[in-house]
Amino acid sequence: MNQHTQDIVKGHKMGYDDILQLDSACVWHPYSAMGKDQPIFAVESAIGVRLRLADGRQLIDGMSSWWCAIHGYNHPVMNEAIKVQLEQMSHVMFGGLTHQPAVMLAEKLVSLTPQALNSVFFSDSGSVSVEVAMKMAIQYWHDKGQPGKQHFLTIRSGYHGDTFGAMSVCDPVTGMHSLFSAVLTPQYFVDAPACRFGESCTDSDLAQMKTCLEQNNQHIAAVILEPVVQGAGGMRFYSAEYLKQIRQLCTEHNVLLILDEIATGFGRTGRLFACEHANIVPDIMCLGKALTGGYMTLAATLTTAEISSTISSGSPGLFMHGPTFMANPLACSAALASIDLLLSTPWQEKIRQIEKILHDNLAVCRQMEGVADVRVLGAIGVVELDRAVDMHTIQYEFVAQGVWVRPFGKLIYLMPPYVIEETDLHTLTAAVVNIVKNLSP
């Protein structure tokens, strides 16, 4: 055991540079290359909406830790829920056993999500919840005597996760997974709708989807979509009317509808779930990210009694999936606390306040050189550029302004914790405006 490891084990505090040195030698970060210079910052602690770096600097968090920390950090209610559960049990296998946090959480999710979604399957992450949804759809049709329905239909510019099934329904061209195309299951793709959120949906927006369903419904198990907001595939906001029409088309052509609410669930768009903008009920829904308020990794896939009973009474008479850490008691307790905390506050009003500030403060970027679009929905603000940003410089620039904003591709966006104060939100938006204004042509 080297000295650095001994220091960690003994609880000794490492210096900022020491942390980064050890990180560089041993740690492989998401979407990064080992052994190459990259912007990495060591966090010592976090409270409220502030990340405290190990060298003493503080950053206002504009990312909610990839959209999940809706209550900010170190919240006393969340902390207490974890402590109480930890004294009882941190984990127990879910095969043949159950526990109060899991059954209470399942009941709560059934009560909050659209009517008819009454069977809950827990998993560890958003990507896995998508895998579960896809397997549910395929197994359902197999047990309905239609084993040929093995494929999925979706729109371009989507993102559903990094595992193999999820990758297959991400955008095959602009997505992050093109190098795996030879081993991914081929799926059906149509153009994303041109109708923006708040606009009407035209026949041309639906034409490709309608044609594909008419011609291939015998092969399609489900349409899978991110409702209203496409996340990491492009941060696009599309018409709720389009989503409503897709629901009707799926019903007409005997195809299931899977809604991936991993990024949009629990208030981010101004509704508790984004599908509420269209007032529709999916056959399967995926939840994750904000489910636990960012405290623990947990996801859930909800479906109808028709699907769960068909799978349970078919062959082999059980659903073929079972994560080791399924329904972890700590995570379920965190989720219960997070949901109760959210619903006990005037969260809709807070989202509207965040939306107004994002809208008003980011609007000036529309007139700036190199800006292709500015769009805001709920607690999501996006500045889309006409070219990709240089992450090796822009990340340092944001940190220098005292904020944590992590752009990707052509997108500079904000998804702050719901608890953010107006002054901090003004600081975040000012940093975005300043950096966009000073980007080199």
What amino acid positions are annotated as catalytic residues? 31, 159, 260, 289
What's the CA gap between 31 and 164, in Å, rounded? 16
Q: Find out whether 188 and 154 touch, Cβ atoms under 8 Å.
A: yes
Helix H or strand E segment including 251:
helix 240-252
Helix H or strand E segment including 117:
strand 117-123
Q: Which of 72, 20, 71, 80 is nearest to 46 (CA)?
A: 72
What's the CA gap between 138 and 220, in Å, rounded? 9
C-alpha distances (whole Å) from 26 to each of 22, 45, 50 are 6, 21, 27
Q: Is 49 helix (H, G, I), strand (E, B) or coil?
A: coil
Dihedrals φ, ψ of 60, to 5°? -75, 125
Neighbours of 261 (CB within 10 A): 30
> DSSP assignment, residue 238?
B
Neighbours of 226 (CB within 10 A): 26
> DSSP assignment, residue 59?
E
Residue given tokens 């620039």 in the structure block: 397
Neighbours of 45 (CB within 10 A): 12
Residue given tokens 């002054």 in the structure block: 423
200: left (phi over 0), alpha (psi -120 to 50) or beta: beta
Helices (H) and strands (E) counted in the chain, each on its own, are 14, 16
Got the DSSP string for 150-202?
A: -EEEEETT----SSHHHHHTS-TTTSS-GGGTTTSPP-EEEPPPSPBTTSPPP
Dihedrals φ, ψ of 117, to 5°? -85, 100
Dihedrals φ, ψ of 356, to 5°? -65, -45
